Structure 1
Amino acid sequence: MSGDGPRPAGGGAGPDRGAVGVYLYPWDAAGDPACADRVTGLGADRVLLAAAYHTVRALNPAHPSRRVVTADHSAVYYRPDRSRWSGREVQPAVATWAPGAFHEGAQALRSAGLGVYAWAVLTHNQRLGTVHPDLAVVNAFGDRYPWALCAANPRVREYCATLAAEVAALPEIDGVELESCGWYGFEHLHAHDKTGSAALPQPARELLSLCFCAACRIEYEKAGIAVDRLRDQVRDALEPVFAGDLGAFGEDAASAGLEPDAQPVHAARAAVADRFRAEVVAAVREARPDIAVLLHTHPDPRRLGANPGADPAALFAQGAGAVLQCWGPMDEGAATVAALARQAPAGLPVVASLLAIANLGGRISDLSADAVRLREAGADELRFYHAGLASGADLRAIRAATAAWRAR
């Protein structure tokens, strides 16, 4: 495939064909002397260790001293360089429930011969959206989404680029994986979620994610879009859905009453996302020119959330590899991997991620077969989510799937 080729200087910067990684929270490794051996026993080469993460309540099935971790706000798990943040109004919070856990966990994993990539969440930040509400996405009805920082806001871009650069500069790591590096919106499993969002048709979720904050209004106006008219169109299109008519419009937002504004809106938002990614990746490259940079993404530029969409050509031109979440139907996942593998230049990996937690909906009985399909589709590397949340049965499925992947 086109992703094969000599690895660039720096070791961690190019695709490591056949590598297997598992996701961990820093508290999974910190304080558990058996964690590193458990991961190497799965056949994994590397760990994607959370350095900056959102609010979460997580099981810790294998840890010797704790079973449930409650992280009550978005935070970083490493020791920030305060000189980097001096004078900045928007700053990350340090996790008081696990201070320095990233450093402890990374060192233990590296001592066992595992590579460590820092996994950082960017525009999904409940704490910052609450403390600084002007940074949050605002929908057409004026409702703010504190969990979703707006990618058009210059202060959000500065914060995310600074955070990504700081994470890249951590001495314990070989690469970075950036989650929610782009538009975040309505579709979010919020704490004690009561929206029934999964029942809403995709166009409704898309319309509820369109942002009308001050920064986005400027972007729309620059694109020649009448912002108030667009807001009224979005409201009118959503009213039938709120009234119970979930079939009120067709397969995309263009059929939801936005003509002729739909295409300019999508183009304006894609341009914002491209600029956001470019600034973040450039900041990482400035901090560590040789480091591997991977973005959780999807080839549809209109996708939102943890894996925001990006045109593959633009993503690869910015020097970032792609991590594709293949948690749904495997025909779809394999086709997406194959399409990106055909476009990826030498030196930039296409990575496939599988959900390996049965209690979260993972198909662990199919995990080995799915891993083989993704390798045959052209994936350079494989990821399993999530070794820290995994039960014994989940871990056995990961071990078997890793063996199947390597046998191809």
Structure 2
Amino acid sequence: MPPQTRSASLYTFPSDLVDDGVARVIDDARAGGFDTLAVALAYHQARDVLPHPRGPRLRYRRDGVFFEPDSEKWANSPMRPSVQSAQERAAVAELLAAPDRPAVESWTVFLHNTGLGEQHPSAATENCFGDRILSNLCPAAPLARAYARALADDVSSRGLDVVAEALSQQTFGHGHHHERSFAPVSAGDETLMSLCFCEACIDRAGDVDTASLAARCRERVDAAWAGAAALPATRDALVDAIGDDLLGFLAARERAVTELAGEVAAIVRSRGQRLAFMDLTGAVLGYDDGRPQGAPAADQAWRLAIDPAAVASAVDAYAVLGYAQDPARLHDDVASVRAAIGGCELRVILRPGHPDTTSASHWREKEAAAIAAGADRVDAYNYGMAPEHVLARLERG
């Protein structure tokens, strides 16, 4: 009897297609009951451990796209993507040409791109100290917005739906190569360090005195480094510490993300495809240990300048990262998003192994919790970085 299939995606790198072979990846996806492969067609720098025995044990990823860009699509964008290896691009082409393959969608990283940040620092986040966070392109910056629109056009014109990762603001704490800090601060202070005060963000802030706001953020972070008590990452706590005008600034950030998501979605739809917006709040909360803390995920999305209700109204699907060990916490996080986004399609992405999931039964319990909380589908992240015994947890008879 063939495996039971359901509407779900298995996240996959082009390097997996090279290392394991296109046919093997397709077979493994089917064994897990997945009807779709979400293949990274634009990705960022990383060093990944690959425990499969059929290829190298380490992959050094770089910024760039896994296809040859269409020059016409990039005519209005001064920022152009780097192109990944010919071997990986050929593997993607082989998958797309396979006669009996699952559906393929483009897992597309938009504004997390250190190489482009280094080439175009004016498009990168500028924190309250005037330092550029080069791994994080700002969704309000005109150069970054033009890049996002061109990338969406180029990918979707290839007949692929788009899963948009990093189409929002990002955090200070994760994204660059070999990050180091021997002066850790609380989650609230890190949130202040993540705020962008670039020219575009200042322009969008309207009547907010951004110079004064940035100065107060600097004073608070300096106080944290000097040993001040921890600051929770809640809007109320930050307003108490910084001032009421912070709320207007946060609202302007959210409007920039919502507008960009809508622009990108419109382009993708014009090509006859669908856009799923990936909300990375779950990674901010549970990436390291699978133990998210604080308010449910939807109530913390503002830290990435995401208004879930507004974004969901502009896109075709809304994807969240369910990086949580506890099925009850996962249920609450997913339920909070469902309540915020209404009837928009809701996708939940789970990790089948470390640090979130311990067994096949644990995976099933979390999958059921997500669906009970309102998820329309449950996807798995990801193929190449999971040991084979972890992939086996996904198999359906």
Identify the residue that residue 218 of structure 1 maps to in structure 2. 203
Among residues 349, 353, 357, which one is paired with 1:363 in the alignment? 357
Residues 330 and 369 of structure 2 are in contact (CA less than 8 Å); yes or no, is this contact kept in structure 1?
Answer: no
Distance apart, 1:65 and its partner CA: 4.1
Identify the residue that residue 136 of structure 2 maps to in structure 1. 148
Question: Does 2:191 correspond to 1:206?
Answer: yes
Residues 357 and 364 of structure 1 are in contact (CA less than 8 Å); yes or no, is this contact kept in structure 2?
Answer: yes
Residues 62 and 388 of structure 1 are in contact (CA less than 8 Å); yes or no, is this contact kept in structure 2?
Answer: yes
Distance apart, 1:204 and its partner CA: 0.9
- RMSD of aligned Cα (Å): 2.5
Distance apart, 1:357 and its partner CA: 3.1
Question: Does 2:81 correspond to 1:82?
Answer: no
Distance apart, 1:140 and its partner CA: 0.7
TM-score normalised by structure 1 residue count: 0.83
Q: How does 1:228-239 map to 2 (within 5 A)?
A: 228-239=211-222
Identify the residue that residue 52 of structure 2 maps to in structure 1. 62
Query: Distance between the aligned counterparts of 1:97 and 1:191, measured in 2?
Result: 24
Among residues 47, 53, 62, which one is paired with 2:43 in the alignment? 53
The more displaced of 269-278 and 44-53 is 269-278
Identify the residue that residue 210 of structure 2 maps to in structure 1. 227
Identify the residue that residue 10 of structure 1 maps to in structure 2. none
Question: Does 2:137 correspond to 1:176?
Answer: no
TM-score normalised by structure 2 residue count: 0.85
Distance apart, 1:143 and its partner CA: 1.0
Q: Deviations over 1:112-134 (max 9, x none)?
A: 43111100011111110011111
Identify the residue that residue 41 of structure 1 maps to in structure 2. 31
Identify the residue that residue 190 of structure 1 maps to in structure 2. 176
In the alignment, structure 2 segments of 5+ residues that lack a partner are: 282-297
Residues 129 and 250 of structure 1: is their aligned pair in 2 closer, same or farther, counting only changes over 3 Å?
Answer: closer
Identify the residue that residue 330 of structure 1 maps to in structure 2. 327
Question: Does 2:265 correspond to 1:281?
Answer: yes
Residues 37 and 104 of structure 2 are in contact (CA less than 8 Å); yes or no, is this contact kept in structure 1?
Answer: yes
Report percent identity of matched pairs: 24
Query: Distance between the aligned counterparts of 1:394 and 1:225, measured in 2?
Result: 50
In the alignment, structure 1 segments of 5+ residues that lack a partner are: 1-16, 404-408
Query: Distance between the aligned counterparts of 1:300 and 1:105, measured in 2?
Result: 42
Identify the residue that residue 164 of structure 1 maps to in structure 2. 152
Q: Secondary structure at the match of 2:242?
A: coil
The structure whose RCO (Cα within 8 Å, separation 6+) is larger is: 1
Among residues 249, 252, 269, which one is paired with 1:265 in the alignment? 249
Residues 196 and 219 of structure 1: is their aligned pair in 2 closer, same or farther, counting only changes over 3 Å?
Answer: farther
Distance apart, 1:398 and its partner CA: 2.2
Identify the residue that residue 277 of structure 2 maps to in structure 1. 295
Residues 333 and 94 of structure 1: is their aligned pair in 2 closer, same or farther, counting only changes over 3 Å?
Answer: same
Identify the residue that residue 129 of structure 1 maps to in structure 2. 117
Query: Distance between the aligned counterparts of 2:175 and 2:153, measured in 1?
Result: 28
Residues 318 and 123 of structure 1: is their aligned pair in 2 closer, same or farther, counting only changes over 3 Å?
Answer: same
Distance apart, 1:335 and its partner CA: 2.0
Question: How many aligned residue pairs are there?
Answer: 370
Amino acid at match of 2:357: R
Query: Distance between the aligned counterparts of 2:213 and 2:158, measured in 1?
Result: 44
Residues 137 and 185 of structure 1 are in contact (CA less than 8 Å); yes or no, is this contact kept in structure 2?
Answer: no
Among residues 394, 397, 402, which one is paired with 2:393 in the alignment? 397
Identify the residue that residue 285 of structure 2 maps to in structure 1. none
Question: Does 2:9 correspond to 1:21?
Answer: yes
Q: Deviations over 1:377-408 (max 9, x none)?
A: 22111111111111022111222xx67xxxxx
